[in-house]
Amino acid sequence: MTTLISFGVRTVRSLASLDVDVFWHDACLDHDPGDGLWELPGHWPWLDQPEPHPENAARLRTFRAVLRDGPVAPRLRWRTGRLATVAELAAVHDRRYLDRLRAACAGPGRTTMEENTVVGPGSWEAVCAAAGTTLAAAEAVLAGEARRAYALVRPPGHHAQVDRADGYCLVNNAALAVEAARRAGCRRVAVLDWDVHHGNGTQQLFYADPDVLTVSLHMRHGPWGENHPQTGAPAEVGAGPGAGRNVNVELSLGAGDAAYLCALDEVVAPLLDRFAPDLLVCASGFDGSTFDPNGRHNLTAAGYRKIGGRVAALADAVAGGRVLFTQEGGYLRGYAALCLHALVEGLLGTGPLLADPLAYLPDDSAMHPERTAADLDAVRAAVGPYWPELFG
Ligand SMILES: [Zn+2]
């Protein structure tokens, strides 16, 4: 087998499969934030039964189950991830923050890193497994062993900033993949984030970097505390040489499938085509689903299937088919798992394989196209000066 990938001239000759390689590490299950409710950790005396923190191991086990036992299973190749080293984590994070995080994970009890984010015994191994498994997936794509790799990991990463945890995120897995790509010779990398929340950590890490295009599609939620000062507004376009390379597609509440597809077609696709990344990294969250307790942005399984199709086509068109996914949010675990399966169906172009038992519920999210048009006009107005040939 010969594999030749030349990022410089954007040619690929690889025998890597067009199926999806899924990367997994058992230690991702070891992070236990304890009890919680909706977005928050802790206990509520008025509950008959304690509920688990929204970001819990059961959600990742459910995601694994749907891919292992669902109808896409024959098209997936399961591969074992690895633990990242501290030196690897330090490619994007401050060493003192990593020391603080590791000490907080040493127990014996749990430590609150910020309002929503709790660590305890087992969390450090999970952090290293999530990061290392993402790196293993990236390395497989970069070596030409895989075209489409999905790092099925937790804790998630896209809110983690250089020296702070935020929003259940401790280490920024997508950002580590970007740095791995650069070490492998990639000149430009694009990050596309469809978690319902703003990818503020990834934004912060590459805000002044002209060679990393960060695009986040999210609900208009604004800053949410000391650890999350970024607003996610279109006006946050990047700084210095990175100006114009951070694109915030802030969608009105309850945007729905139609708005996301419109944003991908009208804003994201032309940007990626023009930027011509060597690798596409996707921060893949399912908390935009219509039933998610932390999102409720009216995306359906059918919508995620179409997003998967769009992403496959985009990766093929602009990045030689090289695309890496890191698992971000998605907290109504059964429906989020269905959405994950649908996304993979879209990637593979299989058409619907799993029925959505909730598809009968009415969806009025497409009834306000003028709202989406205004949202996208705001994005074009903000970044247009930096992309005059596209939006000027
Ligand atoms: Zn989220």
C-alpha distances (whole Å) from 200 to each of 86, 216, 236, 278 are: 22, 9, 10, 23
H-run or E-run covering 52:
none
**Would you tell me how many other CB atoms lie within 10 Å of the CB of residue 222?**
12
d(CA 120, CA 3): 43
Ligand 1 centre to CA of 11 (Å) is 35
Per-domain residue ranges of the chain: 15-391
Residue pair 171/89 in contact by the 8 Å Cβ criterion: yes
Ligand 1 centre to CA of 345 (Å) is 22
d(CA 94, CA 199): 19
Reference 50, options 64, 67, 71, 36; nearest CA is 36
CATH of 15-391, one of 3.40.800.20, 3.40.50.300, 1.10.3210.10, 2.30.30.140: 3.40.800.20
C-alpha distances (whole Å) from 171 to each of 162, 200, 266, 374 are: 9, 13, 31, 34
Ligand 1 centre to CA of 31 (Å) is 18
Residue pair 342/352 in contact by the 8 Å Cβ criterion: yes
The reported pTM is 0.95
Could you please report the per-residue DSSP string of 87-124? HHHTTTS-HHHHHHHHHHTT-SS-EEEETTEEE-TTHH
Pairing of strands 4-6, 148-151: unpaired
Reference 81, options 176, 16, 217, 203; nearest CA is 176
Ligand 1 centre to CA of 55 (Å) is 10
Ligand 1 centre to CA of 150 (Å) is 17
| Residues tagged active-site | 159
Residue 367 per-residue DSSP state:
G
Sequential pLDDT tens for the chain (392 residues): 333 344 333 334 444 667 999 999 999 999 999 999 878 888 888 999 999 999 999 999 999 999 999 999 999 999 999 999 999 999 999 999 999 999 999 989 999 999 999 999 999 999 999 999 999 999 999 999 999 999 999 999 999 999 999 999 999 999 999 999 999 999 999 999 999 999 999 999 999 999 999 999 999 999 988 999 999 999 999 999 999 999 999 999 999 999 999 999 999 999 999 999 999 999 999 999 999 999 989 999 999 999 999 999 999 999 999 999 999 999 999 999 999 999 999 999 999 999 999 998 888 888 889 999 999 999 999 999 999 999 97
